[in-house]
Amino acid sequence: MAEIVLESLGKIYPDGTRAVGDVNLTIEDGEFLVLVGPSGCGKSTVLRMVAGLEEVSEGTIHIGDVLVNDVPPKDRDIAMVFQNYALYPHMSVFDNMAFGLRLRKMDKEEIRRRVEEAAAVLEITDFLGRKPKALSGGQRQRVAMGRAIVREPKAFLMDEPLSNLDAKLRVQMRTELGRLHGRLKTTTVYVTHDQVEAMTLGHRVAVLKAVTAKRPDNLQQVAPPSELFYNPANLFVAGFIGSPAMNMVTGHLEGTGGEVFAVFGPHRLRVDAKALQRHPGLEKFMGRDLVIGIRPGDFEDHRIAGEEPERTMEVKVDVTEVLGSETFVHYMVPVAPVVTPEIEELLADTGSDPATLGDETKFSSRVSSDVAIPAGGTARLVVETAKFHFFDPETGQRIGYRPGAFSAA
């Protein structure tokens, strides 16, 4: 077991394209850290550099106290679980798990003990004599895990290990993986594009974004799951974490008689003092354009929340989706969509005009199913304005963001 320290880590491919830039990350001893981000964000490349499968172009990697930049993978004492398991097809399950130990010339009895112990934990004892071909996807996944466990390495590296499983099995294995880590307490770096996996498994989650010419660094925010949700550093993290995604709209703040109102389109909502406290420095943005972020879960129908005229949006409902206990309400707000720095860059690449995005912003709200909201009709939704998020439209950063400063309410 060991700490893994990445300092100013960067990867530039021989053809000059940059995949990773300026990643600074300390994975503590015994921590379960998840690297999450959309495809192409460099998360796998970071993991592969830690494994030693990709050369490090910039910066340093320490595992334990050892600088491993130029240490070949076989000498790094780490174990990796691959997306498609990478089991040796010509070896039995037992031999697959014992392979690494045999290469280390370990005593035969010790190998047998370790493999059987790991097999018992993973409930694959009955398959030890089988070849990988004769196993189901879930069983192969367990063998791949077993191969990593028996090594008792300094760290586990996992590259989307659950993404080849069907949905039900994935949920089951996710729980088991969490339990397994609780038992072994081995430092783990886990790569996924699935935010649910990231939020449920990670002690801390590192959100990565693809590098661009303007912003050659991937790392957006590293924080425990709930902080990512309640205290996002910027528009990217706010939009990536949470499902359905956070509603974002351009608006401004008005102050009248000690009260602050958020105005966007035809809507004017009184902002709760808590939201103001969470955004120090917000007063500088008074009257100026800013991006207002509202989670879909922070709405409720007026019949349930009670009449709160100053915090109510009256909207024309496009579509409703009833999911049993809750209902998703989709509607449009007549304000041009927020152009985030990423979207701006994307538009510049394709040579399109921001005006082509239209002049309406899609909103979705999650409300209780206890009251019926007909599609096409009008809904009056009360907004929990204490949970508002405000972002600087120029930089995409959250106004007054401080790491670690959050409360769930």
Partner 1 sequence: MAEPPVLPDKAPEPRRRLLSAGARGSLLSILRMAAALAVPIIGFLLLWLTFNFLRDSDANRLLVAVVAIVVGVGGIWLLYWGMDLLVSTVLPARIRESVRPAVFVGPALVILAVYLIYPAINTTILAFKDAKGENWASQGGLGNFIDIFTNSETLVAIRNSLLWVVIVPAASVIIGLAFATLTDKLGRRTESTAKSMIFLPMAISLVGASIVWGFVYSFRSAGFGEQIGLLNGIWTGMGNKPVAWLLQEPWNNLYLMVILIWLQTGFAMVILSAAIKSVPEDLLEAARIDGASEWKVFTRVVLPSIASTVVVVVTTITIVVWKVFDIVFVMTGGRFNTSVVAQRMVKEFFTFRNDGVGAALAVILFIAVIPMMVVNVRKFRQQEETR
Give residues in contact with partner 1 (CB under 8 A): 51-53, 72-76, 78-80, 82-84, 86-91, 99-100, 103-104, 147, 151
The three-point CA angle 373-377-383 to 5° equals: 60
How far apart are CB 189 and partner 1 at their closest, in Å?
A: 13
How far apart are CB 48 and partner 1 at their closest, in Å?
A: 8
- Of 154, 152, 355, 126, the closest CA to residue 142 belongs to 126
DSSP per-residue codes, 124-141: -GGGTTS-GGGS-HHHHH
Give CA–CA dist 99/146, Å, rounded.
11
Q: In terms of CB distance, is 14 or 351 closer to partner 1?
A: 14
- For residue 368, what are the β-bridge partners? 326
DSSP per-residue codes, 196-235: HHHHHH-SEEEEE----SS----EEEEE-HHHHHHS-SBH
The 8 Å CB, 24+ separation contacts for 198-203 are 198/34, 198/36, 198/225, 199/225, 199/228, 199/229, 199/241, 200/174, 200/225, 201/32, 201/34, 201/174, 201/177, 202/32, 202/33, 202/34, 202/36, 203/31, 203/32, 203/33
SS3 245: coil
Q: In terms of CB distance, is 87 or 241 closer to partner 1?
A: 87
* One-letter amino acid for residue 390 of the chain: F
* Residue 64 phi, psi dihedral angles, 5° rounding: 65, -130
How far apart are CB 53 and partner 1 at their closest, in Å?
A: 5
How far apart are CB 73 and partner 1 at their closest, in Å?
A: 5
Q: In terms of CB distance, is 104 or 402 closer to partner 1?
A: 104
How far apart are CB 141 and partner 1 at their closest, in Å?
A: 14
DSSP H or E segment with residue 256: strand 247-256
Give CA–CA dist 210/276, Å, rounded.
31
Q: In terms of CB distance, is 90 or 402 closer to partner 1?
A: 90
How far apart are CB 143 and partner 1 at their closest, in Å?
A: 12
SS3 322: strand
Q: State the sign of the Cα–Cα–Cα–Cα dihedral 219, 221, 225, 230.
A: negative
Q: In terms of CB distance, is 91 or 336 closer to partner 1?
A: 91
Q: In terms of CB distance, is 111 or 249 closer to partner 1?
A: 111
How far apart are CB 80 and partner 1 at their closest, in Å?
A: 5
Q: In terms of CB distance, is 104 or 113 closer to partner 1?
A: 104
SS3 25: strand
How far apart are CB 297 and partner 1 at their closest, in Å?
A: 39
Q: In terms of CB distance, is 35 or 292 closer to partner 1?
A: 35
- Of 49, 138, 128, 41, the closest CA to residue 92 belongs to 128
How far apart are CB 55 and partner 1 at their closest, in Å?
A: 14
How far apart are CB 147 and partner 1 at their closest, in Å?
A: 7
Q: In terms of CB distance, is 39 or 325 closer to partner 1?
A: 39
The three-point CA angle 388-205-157 to 5° equals: 165
Total Cβ atoms within 10 A of residue 330:
17
Compute CA 172 distance to the chain's CA centroid, rounded to the nearest angstrom.
19
Q: In terms of CB distance, is 16 or 89 closer to partner 1?
A: 89
